[in-house]
Structures are given as C-alpha cells and as structure tokens.
Amino acid sequence: MHGALSSSAIEAYFDSVCPEQTPGLSWAVARSDGKTVRGWRGMAVTAPEHVPVAEDTLYDLASLTKPLATALLALRAFDAGKIDLLSPAEGIPGPSVTPLGLLRHEAGFPDWIPLYAFLKDRRRAAYWLTTKCPRLEPGKNVEYGCPGYILLGLILERALGDSLSNLFDEWVARPLGITKGEACFRPAPLPARRIAATELDAAYETAMARRFGAEIPPFVTGLAWGEVNDGNARFMGGASGNAGLFGTLGAVEILCEAYVPGRDFLSKKSLELAWDSPHPFGSGQRRTAGWKAVGSFGWWANDLLPRGSIGHEGFTGTGVWMEPGGKTTYILLTNRIHPRHPGTEFGPVRAGFIRTARGGR
C-alpha cells in the first residue's frame, strides 16, 4: 500500500457488499508504521432478533483458529522447548507425524472428514486419526484440511498438559494482553448480543456429513449463536485445533501482530517457519507453519499481494492477509453464513476488499 491510508474508499466498497453478501462485518487495515484504519457495519444477528455489529462484537473465526491459536501455540511451545516441531510427536500411535508437517498440511490427511461419524466422543480421536483415518504418505503432498489440525491440537494438549482453551489463554492471549472477553473458545458465558451468529440449521455441513451416513452434532438452540459453527469442533467440545476460536476485531489485530518481526513474541526461527514456504508440492500449494503463501496454485490473492505475503480464510467469512514482514495487514471478519450459507463464493468480496485497500491496484 502506498500513500495516505484512508477508510473512505473501503467504506464505499462495503456499501455495495453489506447486506447483499453478508449481514455484518468488521474490517481493519494496519500498517507497520502504526497507521491503522478500521470499521464495522451491519447486523451481528438477524434472527431471532436484530442485533447490530459493534466494535466489540465477537466473530466465530472458523479456520483462522489454525494460524491465530493452534499455530501460535505450537510455535510458542517450540520456542520454550516444550515441543519439537521437527521430530515425530510422542505418544501418538500409527505412522509418525511431525508437528511441522501438520502445521504445513503435509501429513497426508484428507481435507475434511466428520469425526462424529466414527467416534462416540473425543477420547479416542488421536488414536482414530493416526490409525483409522484415510491418509496418504506423509511429506509427499500438501492437502489443506482440518483433520491434521485437530490432531495437532490434541498433541499440544498432551505435550503441555492442559486443554486447548486454557493453553491458548495461558500461552497466547494473556501474554499479548488479550482478555477472555476479546478472544476465547466457548464464549457462551458472554452476553449473546456481543456475539455474531452464524448458521440457523447447519444445512451446509449436514449435507456433507450425510455422505458419510452421519448426523452433525446439533446446535443447543438450533442456531449457532455463541456456539462454534464447525461440527467437528463442537464434537471436540467447542475447542479444537481446526476451529472454535472467537475474537473481536481488536483481538485479531493483536494476534496478527504476534507474527510481525520485531514484536519479540516469537523467535527468529519460529518467524521463519511462519513466513517462509518450502517449494510447492505436486498440488502447487505453498504452506507455511499456519498460513498459505502467495504463489499457491489457484489462490485468488496471488495477483493482489506481493511475493512473500501470507494469509488464511475461514468458512464463516473471515480472513487475514499479511504482506512480507507485516508491512500491511488486512483483516475482514464477517458472519456471511447467517442465517444460512448463501451458497456463493466469497473470494471476490475478499479480493475487492484488498484491492480497494491497496488503492485499486
């Protein structure tokens, strides 16, 4: 991004997006020189009542949980000498996997599978994932997906001796000055009006699960409002390595800053793992420890961001994209699947946001 950083063009762009593409949204564009513009608009909830988006609205971050919670926790534990990212994980049965391979989606796991179709509860999830889950040979390809990150969350719980929710708070949130009211798993004790709702009936994942002969774990009230939208994360108790983190716009800004060189939250080695991608595999995917890298085959961000940029999107309509070294960070949080998934692609809206923020380039 060059020149003055102004919110007017971005606000004008979202005038044409909300509510046609999503009921509500929050956004921020932050530069490493400290200049930031941000905004929010629309409705956090449209049914069963109308609740407007506010500055402190918490969004279901969906797969942003991967880089902003699970990967950050793994890298922090690596820096503390509590886990070796390069060696096979201890105490995990079946073919060996390294945490780094899981972080970069190189461990051979499929893109998605409903654990609740094969297990009664989460207690045997690690065993099933490493001995029963359909899996290709590790290290031969990159396949983005959730099962590997679910396993990584379980590995971190075992290595660090606590639940993923508590570990995130202890190792990531509190050291960054983030309160549980700003980012957490299982936010339901918070007032519902502070939380953006997502799906009403989980129709999208229900159709996927039924191909496996499974029924998705239901929402307590029939609406994902304070409950994670992802069925596997609900099956895992609301806190999983693949999904479950809720956060405000401000909290996501801080979590992204943890990846900026010079912030001293991660070591030089961990920052290299987060920013540097190995050569693409046969699929053409470029993945770092937690992120997707510009140059990945078919990624819409390739033509919008400079080489060396990283980013990640979430099913609920969330996304974060960071230019090399954290020069400029783009954050978009939405509840586009509320009250039901619209069945449309959201990539063009995300691309329009970044293009507008970069001055139409």
Place of tokens 């992120």: 291
Inter-residue contact 202 to 217 (CB < 8 Å): no
Task: Give backbone dihedrals phi and psi of 79, rounded to 5 degrees, phi first.
Answer: -65, -30
Task: Give backbone dihedrals phi and psi of 266, rounded to 5 degrees, phi first.
Answer: -120, 150
pLDDT given at position 44: 98
Task: Give backbone dihedrals phi and psi of 43, rounded to 5 degrees, phi first.
Answer: -115, 130
pLDDT given at position 50: 97
CATH architecture of the domain with residue range 8-357: 3-Layer(aba) Sandwich (3.40)
Nearest by Cα to 127 from 151, 111, 110: 151
Q: Give the DSSP letter string of 338-350.
A: SSS---S--HHHH
pLDDT given at position 275: 97
pTM: 0.97
Inter-residue contact 167 to 160 (CB < 8 Å): yes
* Structure tokens that stand for 276 in this block: 């540097």
pLDDT above 70 covers a percentage of the chain that reads 98
* Mean pLDDT in residue range 324-350: 96
Count CB-CB contacts under 10 A for residue 219: 20
* Mean pLDDT in residue range 149-167: 97
CA distance 145 to 244: 15
* Structure tokens that stand for 162 in this block: 């606590």
pLDDT given at position 109: 94
CA distance 19 to 43: 8
pLDDT given at position 255: 98
Least confident of 18-32, 53-67, 89-103, 311-325: 89-103
What is the per-residue pLDDT across 41-84, written as a single tens digit (0 to 9) for each?
Answer: 999 999 999 999 999 999 999 999 999 999 999 999 999 999 99
Size of the chain, expressed as the number of residues it contains: 361
Inter-residue contact 238 to 186 (CB < 8 Å): yes
Domain range annotation of the chain: 8-357
- Mean pLDDT value across the chain: 94
* Mean pLDDT in residue range 178-207: 96
Task: Give backbone dihedrals phi and psi of 93, rounded to 5 degrees, phi first.
Answer: -70, 170
CA distance 224 to 63: 16
Does residue 1 carry a pLDDT above 50?
A: no
Q: How far is CA 129 from CA 64, 114, 135, in A?
A: 22, 11, 9
What DSSP character marks residue 58? B
CA distance 324 to 320: 13
What is the per-residue pLDDT across 244-295, written as a single tens digit (0 to 9) for each?
Answer: 999 999 999 999 999 999 999 999 999 999 999 987 777 789 999 999 999 9
pLDDT-derived band at 3 (thresholds 50, 70, 90) equals low
* Structure tokens that stand for 11 in this block: 């606000």
Does residue 93 carry a pLDDT above 50?
A: yes
pLDDT given at position 34: 86
Does residue 2 carry a pLDDT above 60?
A: no
Structural element, H or E, at residue 9: helix 8-15
| Side chain identity, residue 290 | G
Could you list the beta-strand ranges (E) of the chain.
24-31, 36-45, 51-52, 59-60, 183-185, 245-247, 292-293, 310-314, 318-322, 328-334
Does residue 4 carry a pLDDT above 70?
A: no
Three-state secondary structure call for residue 353: helix
pLDDT given at position 241: 98
Place of tokens 């949980």: 65
* Mean pLDDT in residue range 163-176: 98
CA distance 206 to 218: 10
